[in-house]
Amino acid sequence: MRICKGKRGYGFEIYSQGILAFSKVTISYFSAIEKPVQASALTYSELVIQFLLMLTLPRIMGLPGVWLSVPASQVCACLLAVIVRKEMR
């Protein structure tokens, strides 16, 4: 298996999988400890953020903005998951 892909490589794609996994595990954690409001908020916030970024980033960046809206929404959802987890402690 080859890790490099063109000039940009797979670096961002590898990091985004870790970010996605963290937010999904946090959602599962809140579901497991019977905190459905937090789990639902994290689940739907990623979709809402992605929709908003899909509307704004292409106007700013063009076609790359369409592709960057998905990982950017995952990063925002991960940051939101970190904030919600810290408030739970």
Q: What is the mean pLDDT of each successive set of 10 residues along the chain, which is 89 residues long?
A: 51 69 88 90 91 94 87 89 88
Please state, in angstroms and rounded to a whole number, the distance separating the CA atoms of residues 87 and 76: 17
Q: DSSP string of 39-89?
A: HHHHHHHHHHHHHHHHHHHHHHHSHHHHHHHHHHHHHHHHHHHHHHHHHH-
Q: For the chain, what is the domain count?
A: 1
Q: Is residue 18 part of a domain?
A: yes
Neighbours of 39 (CB within 10 A): 19
Q: Is residue 4 part of a domain?
A: no
Output the pLDDT for position 79: 92
Q: Is residue 21 part of a domain?
A: yes
Q: Is residue 76 part of a domain?
A: yes
Q: Is residue 40 part of a domain?
A: yes
Q: Is residue 3 part of a domain?
A: no
Please state, in angstroms and rounded to a whole number, the distance separating the CA atoms of residues 56 and 43: 21
Q: Is residue 5 part of a domain?
A: no
Domain that holds residue 49: 11-88
Output the pLDDT for position 1: 39
Q: Is residue 2 part of a domain?
A: no
Output the pLDDT for position 7: 57
